[in-house]
Structure 1
Amino acid sequence: MTDQPDPTEPTGASATAQLEPLTRHERRRIGVEVWILLGLSLGQSGVYAIVRIIARLTADTALRDQSATLNASQSVRPYLDLTFQVLSIGFNLVPVALALFLLSARGPGTLRRIGLDLTSPLRDVGYGVGLAAVIGIPGLGLYVAGRALGITVEVQAAALDSTWWAVPVLVLAALQNGLLEEIIVVAYLSERLGDLRWGTVKIIVTSALIRGSYHLYQGIGPFFGNVVMGVVFAWFYQSRWGRRRVMPLVVAHTILDIVAFVGYALLPDAWLRALGVS
């Protein structure tokens, strides 16, 4: 396997630049496509999150005294709960399949074109770990600061019962988040908005604001934190280091969520309080 792209096949910005000019109908069709996909996935989540933050800010309870629960149990019966968890993860990935299908309209090699393959595993993991550290360590500090300032709710990252399958499900949930968010908000949007001849800065800002929007239910602090994460990830994807490969972003996001989900589930309450996350 090689770590270098095929020199005979245009990739990234050069590939976009070599596309034939779009007709008015094609531009409109791509625009509608983007709105539909976002409406079925993270754009919908963003709208709900905006409504939820308005509800939180207008509630009698202060924002600092409110909480948001992730990965909650869905049944008191363990194996039924496991079934619901697995089904939820599977169906949440359907928009990812749709995004890849829509991108395939540009021709074969969709996974290769957005770097969702295993051609550069060491490089992808290396950059993924680095990005996770760059985002994760300051992110924890931002969460603690947000809690102290009263602009962030208490985020309970995992609320599954103590069963043998809890950790594997949390790992799968982390992978699902990495695939869903990075493929749609970074890779898909970068490619499709690039097809519409949007500039790099405009694409990065749009991607970052969408990422921030669907985290608003956690408070004002997480919105800004995720906007920063969105800028870094979308910039990296289009940079000469990222080479329009989404895999490092999936790796980074999955690592961040595994640490958050599994750490919250396994660490003693005293440790969580010491870290300022409980």
Structure 2
Amino acid sequence: MDESRAEGALTLPSRGRLRAEVVIVLGLSLGQAAIYAAIRLIERYLAPAPIGSQTSTLNPSQSAINYVDLLIQVLRIGFSLMPVALALYLLSANGTSALKRLGLTGRGRVWWSDIGWGFGLAAAIGIPGLGLYAVGRALGQSVKLNTSGLPDQWWAAAILLLSAAAAAILEEGIVVGFLVTRLRDMRWSVPAVIIASALLRGCYHLYQGWPMALGNVVMGLVFAYVYVRRGRLAPLIIAHMLLDSVAFIGPEIIPAHVLDSLGIT
């Protein structure tokens, strides 16, 4: 059930106020990331080394001092979720339950359904996505991804899992939950809303190369469509968290020769 259909009963801000909210939230989060990613892609093509030989490190170390690194990592994760807190605050104006509007509440049976959908979406997106990455690497148009730049410390795996959870909450909370909701509040058509959400998702992945950005646009189309149809954000967060957890932790347990064949370090 699409809970956003009940929006007619809500007292919404003016359209100008809604546009301002979207600009501010995106400017503080994924809209800003999209602009930097586009610039980074241009930089990669202008660099002497071909883009296929370049590397992008996710979750880099922040300090040579062990516990300082751990502290900064925890703070980084916490502060990264502040735009989501802002989005929830804005969506909860006039006593509205933002969590209910986004499909983040419900009884046990609903949550079990969300988990099932989450695993299904993760499989449907993750397996083709891995193939797309391999193709992009073969074409020399995708950068080599180092999914963990953390030191070999006892806390590294926990930070990687927390980072996966935070990325899932941030991206799905902003690019789907907040953006789709606010664009529909502004009476955008459903196809336009889905396309806008998907394009934003692709744009902030441009730093990985255009094949991965294109793959994320497809992921964005699927995720936004599922959200509009079901009115539940939880399955998307679960799916995204599973995908990133495998991407971050996988290189630690998958044989090195398999990773090398995919261009993953």
1:29 and 2:17 are equivalent in the alignment:
yes
- Measure the CA separation in 1 of the matches of 2:252 and 2:23: 36
Say if 1:265 and 1:160 are closer, same or farther in 2 by CA, change over 3 A.
Answer: farther
1:44 and 2:32 are equivalent in the alignment:
yes
1:123 alignment counterpart: 113
1:272 alignment counterpart: 259
Shift in Å, 1:118: 5.2
- Selected match of 1:107 from 79, 85, 95: 95
Per the normalisation by structure 2, the TM-score is 0.95
Worse overlay, 189-198 or 263-272: 263-272
Counterpart amino acid of residue 130 in structure 1: G
Give matches, 1:73-152, under 5 Å: 73-117=61-105, 119=107, 120-152=110-142
Worse overlay, 77-86 or 249-258: 77-86
Q: Secondary structure at the match of 1:68?
A: strand
Counterpart amino acid of residue 225 in structure 1: G
1:172 and 2:162 are equivalent in the alignment:
yes
Shift in Å, 1:15: 1.4
- Measure the CA separation in 2 of the matches of 1:116 and 1:227: 24
Shift in Å, 1:17: 4.1
- Measure the CA separation in 2 of the matches of 1:79 and 1:42: 29
Q: Secondary structure at the match of 2:56?
A: strand
Shift in Å, 1:128: 0.2
Per the normalisation by structure 1, the TM-score is 0.91
- Selected match of 2:233 from 237, 246, 259: 246
- Measure the CA separation in 2 of the matches of 1:70 and 1:265: 14
2:187 alignment counterpart: 197
Shift in Å, 1:154: 0.4
Pairwise CA RMSD: 1.6
1:11 alignment counterpart: 3
Say if 1:118 and 1:173 are closer, same or farther in 2 by CA, change over 3 A.
Answer: farther
Shift in Å, 1:140: 0.2
1:226 and 2:216 are equivalent in the alignment:
yes
- Measure the CA separation in 2 of the matches of 1:17 and 1:58: 50
Q: Is the 1:158–1:265 Cα contact (8 Å) retained in structure 2? A: no
1:260 and 2:247 are equivalent in the alignment:
yes
1:213 and 2:203 are equivalent in the alignment:
yes
Structure 1 unaligned blocks of 5 or more: none
| Deviations 1:147-193, CA, capped at 9 Å, x for gaps | 00111000111111111111111000000000000011001111111
Shift in Å, 1:269: 2.4
- Measure the CA separation in 2 of the matches of 1:237 and 1:180: 16
- Measure the CA separation in 2 of the matches of 1:265 and 1:92: 25
Equivalenced residue count is: 263
Identity %: 50
